[in-house]
Each structure stands twice: as C-alpha cells, then as structure tokens.
C-alpha cells in the first residue's frame, strides 16, 4: 500500500474541503469582508473627524476661520488566533472499520473548525460593535416583536451610505419560531410565500441568518473575552473584516510507540471591527 500517495491526496482533498466549508457554511462569510491572502496584518488608517462651521456672512465674523489640528490613527487587524485539532487513529481502528475512517474523521474536523471560526467571528462582531439595541420583552421568540426589532435595526443605520451594502441580523435557532410566525402574518405576498415555502431568509430588507443555540456566549475565545450570552448581532454587511489566511495545514504523523497515524489540522483567523464604522454593527440585547 502506497501510504505516502494516499496521505498526499487526502491532505489535498482536506485543504480544499476546509476552504469550501469556510466559504459556504459560515454566516461570517456572508456579513464580513474576507481577506484570504497571506497577510497576517491589515492596516486601515483614518483621520480625525472634520467639523464644519456654519456662520453668517454679515455677522461680523465672515471671511475668518479657525484652523483645526489634523491627527491620524492607524487601525489594524492582526491574525492572532488559531483553530487546531489533533487525534490519534490506531491502525487496528482503520483495519476493522467497514468504511473509510480517515475520511470520516476529516469530515468531522472540517465541520468543527468551521463552527469554531464562525463562533469566533460572530462573537467578535457582537462584542466590538458599538451600536446598541434592546429588544422588547420576549425578544425574537415573540412574533409580535420581530417586525419592530428588524425595523429598529434599519433605523439604527439608516442614512449612512454603507447601509446600501445590505442589512443583516444573526439569531439562534431558538429564536426561529417567533420569526416564522411573524413572517407568516406580515402581509399577503410575504405571508403566502412563507406559508408555502417556509422561512425565506429576510424581512423588511434585512437578511436573517440562523446559527445554533449556544453560539453567542460569555467566554474566552482564544485572544478574545466576550460577554454575549443573551445577545444577538445585526447591522450593515461588509463594514468589518476577518482574515483567514490560506495556509491551512493538515498533517498525518507517525508517532513512536503507537500504530496508525496522528492527524492534525490548524486554521488561522483574525477580526477587526474598524473604528470609524463600529456603530454600524449593532449589539442586540434580548430582554
């Protein structure tokens, strides 16, 4: 058996599948700008805000002005976190299985790394966004609240040019029942579509994304400590960035004293809510 060739093809297949999973399965991919280059740092300098003076040209101060001091600040994204998994598959486990245990484990690793990256980015969004919104009592689980919450999200970011990039809200699966009932009663065309086809993914121009319960947490996730239990996130798409460098590493190692192979996979990620646009990301507190 040419194990070297098998390992090479498995590694190539794993890297491709992981990239596809990160690209198509993650909610973060839909709402953030994504940098997939090899950059471990991204710079985003910005200047101090300009304040325009309005004055009466016949009021005595016409034609005069005050000189402001310009300052610049460099906002940066640094890739500081890794998502890693390793396990030992003994040779007897591989031989005695009717299926391809190595491939099944690769499938599991892909799914778990994807979930970990998504959780990290979504919690970073919720933690770093400076927009704030408290829901009516009952949150999204009360159908009567849903349209109000979504309208409030739109109102928080209306009037900014960036809002035309599209709006979103991310909820957990426990919120879905109220959203479905709200959509089913929201006017003839919307209600008919939702009743016939199920949840369509958007209301009032706001895209709705659903993640599993327990995604928003109060915990330490790598380099970041978050306090998001009981929170959700919404706002404008594309005003934050996460970097996921392409150097996905997958290795199969022979370990002294053990049969079979040790398998290891690691991915890297960094996130930045850019200072001048933090208000366009809304931390939603469920009441």
pLDDT digits (tens, 9 = 90+) for 101-126: 777 777 778 778 888 999 999 999 99
Half-sphere exposure of 136 (CA within 13 A, CB side): 14
Q: Do the beta carbons of residue 248 and residue 15 sit within 8 Å? A: yes
Write down the H helix ranges in the chain: 3-24, 28-31, 91-96, 101-128, 143-157, 176-184, 188-197
- Low-confidence residues in the chain, pLDDT < 70: 1-25, 95-100, 187-200, 246-248
Let me know if residue 269 belongs to a domain. Answer: yes
pLDDT value at residue 263: 83
User: How much is the pLDDT for 252?
Assistant: 81
- Within a domain: residue 38? yes
How much is the pLDDT for 4? 47
Total domain count, the chain = 1
Report yes or no on 8 lying in a domain.
yes
Domain containing 33: what range? 3-46+75-285
Q: With respect to residue 194, please indicate whether it lies within any of the assigned structural domains.
A: yes
Residue 88 forms part of a structural domain: yes
CATH number at residue 200: 3.90.1690
Question: Does the residue 272 lie in any domain?
Answer: yes
Residue 52 counted as domain residue: no
pLDDT score recorded for residue 24: 54
Assigned domain for 63 exists: no
Residues 24-81 pLDDT 10s: 567 998 999 999 888 889 988 878 888 888 888 887 778 888 898 888 888 999 999 9
């Amino acid at each position: 058996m040419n194990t070297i060739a098998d390992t090479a093809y498995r590694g190539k297949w794993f890297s491709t599948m992981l990239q596809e999973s990160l690209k198509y399965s993650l909610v973060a991919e839909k709402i953030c700008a994504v940098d997939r280059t090899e950059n471990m740092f991204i710079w985003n300098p910005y200047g101090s805000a300009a304040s325009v003076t309005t004055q009466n040209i016949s009021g005595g101060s016409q034609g005069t002005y005050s000189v402001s001091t310009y300052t610049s600040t460099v906002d940066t994204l640094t890739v500081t976190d890794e998502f890693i998994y390793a396990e030992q598959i003994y040779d007897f486990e591989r031989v005695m299985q009717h299926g391809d245990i190595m491939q099944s484990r690769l499938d599991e690793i892909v799914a778990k790394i994807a979930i970990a990256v998504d959780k990290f980015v979504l919690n970073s969004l919720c933690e770093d966004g400076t927009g704030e919104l408290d829901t009516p009592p009952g949150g999204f689980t009360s159908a009567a609240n849903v349209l109000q919450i979504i309208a409030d999200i739109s109102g928080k970011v209306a009037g900014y040019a960036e809002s035309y990039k599209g709006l979103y809200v991310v909820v957990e699966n426990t919120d879905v029942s109220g959203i479905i009932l709200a959509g089913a009663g929201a006017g003839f065309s919307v209600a008919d579509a939702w009743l016939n086809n199920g949840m369509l993914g958007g209301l009032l121009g706001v895209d709705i994304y659903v993640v599993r319960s327990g995604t928003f947490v109060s915990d330490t996730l790598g380099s970041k400590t978050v306090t998001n239990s009981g929170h959700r996130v919404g706002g404008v798409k594309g005003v934050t960035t996460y970097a996921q460098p392409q150097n996905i590493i997958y290795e199969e190692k022979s370990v002294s004293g053990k049969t079979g192979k040790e398998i290891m996979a690691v991915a890297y990620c960094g996130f930045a809510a850019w200072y001048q646009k933090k208000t366009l990301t809304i931390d939603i507190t469920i009441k």
